[in-house]
Amino acid sequence: MRNNQSLEDYLEAILMLKNENGTVRSIDIAHALGFSKPSVSVAMKSLRAKGHIAVDDQGHITLTSTGMEIAKSVYERHEILTKLLIHIGVDEETAKEDSCKIEHDLSEKTFEKLKEFLKKSNLI
């Protein structure tokens, strides 16, 4: 799971950086995640090989349809879990950090129940 978790984190970061900046390069990902450029390069090679990203001649990274699907799913989980943790009294910074840890291991069934709860509570 650890490898998938790492790749999911990269895809989520690409989505977030694209939304914030319009374009994404490896150096942007390295700065955002606090990783070395060589580590990011290895991850980008793996994501490209899996068909989750494309890189143009200028080094701009874009998500493919499968990469976007994964990134949106991980981002949704992150946002929902963060809201839930804040709702139960966890401070925002801790909630964001902990949601990153939980989002990859939580079953789809449990996640859907959490979403239902938040919707019924008018929190999302």
State whether 54 and 98 are in the same domain. Answer: no
C-alpha span between 32 and 52 (Å, rounded): 19
pLDDT: which is higher, 104 or 110: 110
State whether 49 and 106 are in the same domain. Answer: no
State whether 49 and 74 are in the same domain. Answer: no
Q: Which residues contact 60 (CB under 8 A, 6 or more apart)?
A: 23, 24, 25
Cβ atoms of 53 and 47 closer than 8 Å: yes
Q: What is the pLDDT of residues 53-107, one digit of tens each?
A: 999 999 999 999 999 999 999 999 999 999 999 999 999 999 999 998 898 888 9
C-alpha span between 15 and 34 (Å, rounded): 16
pLDDT of residue 28: 97
pLDDT of residue 1: 36
State whether 109 and 97 are in the same domain. Answer: yes
Confidence class of residue 122 from pLDDT cuts 50, 70 and 90?
confident
Give φ, ψ of 91 to 5 degrees.
-65, 155
CATH number, residue 100: 1.10.60.10
Q: What is the pLDDT of residues 28-58, one digit of tens each?
A: 999 999 999 999 999 999 999 999 999 999 9
Average pLDDT estimate for 4-12: 91
Give φ, ψ of 53 to 5 degrees.
-140, 165
Parent domain of 90: 70-120
